[in-house]
Every structure is written in structure tokens, then in C-alpha cells.
Amino acid sequence: MLVTDLNHFAGLPDDTPGPARRLAAHLHDIVRAATAGDAGTAWETALPCRRRPGNRPCPGRMIVLRTEARAPIRWQCSVCDDEGVISNWEDSAFDLRRQRLALAEPVSEIVIPDAVAAALRGLQLLDTDCERLVFAIRGRDGHAIIAATDDDLAELIGFVAAEANNEPSRRRQQRLDAAFDALSTAAQAPGS
């Protein structure tokens, strides 16, 4: 059980060693997911496990549970025994809880490849609503499921297009183009 306090991972200096930086990024993603998705129930995110048993990535996904404010966020891998708790996540830069109630609009569930979910998590320019959408993506049977209204989807596609246009790295641009295609196809699909 990895017991962590998010305050200890805030503002890490530039010369922080790679493993500590990767752990911080992992914990930040878990807090984003746990605060973007439902509270009071454990659910499987699209976040990959950080472990590499036998030098192969663990195929598990992070299962997160957030109960009430002031209680630590609990997380565990869906495959291996990696698990932990994170305290002092409230009101951090990674706390994506809604500040006000949202109107209930019809939501479509769209299946996207894991690589697309990862590309969406890497977007730098997202507003908080779109960031919440991206970190609420669920893992299911090796796929990722995004739940979005038509308006959410249109907004997210706009962010992906803008970032793809300005992306200097050819490899990252290809990943963003693939994400753009996957979301655009879903947005045009009948019934979505």
C-alpha cells in the first residue's frame, strides 16, 4: 500500500529524478480521474498501471474510489497488487470536481482506442470541463469509453484540432490526428 500526501509532490524542482517525477505524474492523473468521475463508487479508469513486471507493462488499469472530501482517494490496479491512498488532494490543481451542478443532457458512450485516450490526456490546452471529460474516461475490456454530450464532443474535437495544428513533433501530431479522426467519426455516427 503506497500512502502518499499530494502536498509532497507539489512544485517538484526541475532536477527531480525521473522515477519521482513519473510517480508524481501518476498520482496527479489518479486525482484528476477520481475527481472527474463519480464519487462513492469504485470505477475503472483508462489510466494504465505504472508497474512493469518482467520488463513488460502491467496490462491493468487504475480503479479509483473517492468517498467524501477530506477522505483520501483510494486506488488499485485491476490486475496486479499495486494500490495506494492519496491525501490532501482537495482544491489542488488536479481537483476537477464541479463547482456547480451541471444540467442533465443526453450523454453518448463512445468506444475509443487506448492510444486515443492517452493522446487526449496529453492535451495541454484543455479547459476544465474538457479535462474532466478526458479523465472521466473509463476502461472496459481493454478499450476506453468516453461519455460525452454532443456539445462536449464538439468542444473536445476543437481542442484536439487546435493542438494538432500547432504540434511541432510529427509523432505527436499523428497521435492527435488519430484522436481527431476517432472523435469526429463518433460525432457523425447516427444515434450518437
Which residues lie near Zn ion (CB under 5 A)? 49, 51, 58, 60, 77, 79-80, 82
Residues 28, 9 contacting (CB under 8 angstroms): yes
Residue 26 or 175: which CB sits closer to Zn ion? 26
Residues 52, 31 contacting (CB under 8 angstroms): no
Residue 58 or 145: which CB sits closer to Zn ion? 58
Between the alpha carbon of residue 5 and those of residues 2, 11, 78, 106, the distances in Å are: 10, 13, 23, 37
Residues 90, 61 contacting (CB under 8 angstroms): no
Which residue type, as a one-letter code, is found at position 13?
P
User: Cβ neighbours of residue 81 under 8 Å, at least 6 residues apart?
Assistant: none
Residue 58 or 118: which CB sits closer to Zn ion? 58
Q: State the minimum distance, in angstroms, from the CB of residue 63 to Zn ion.
A: 10
Per-residue cell: 68: 467524501
Distance CA 184, CA 136 (A): 19
Beta bridge partners of 145: 111, 138
Residue 39 or 58: which CB sits closer to Zn ion? 58
Residue 63 or 153: which CB sits closer to Zn ion? 63
Per-residue cell: 188: 457523425
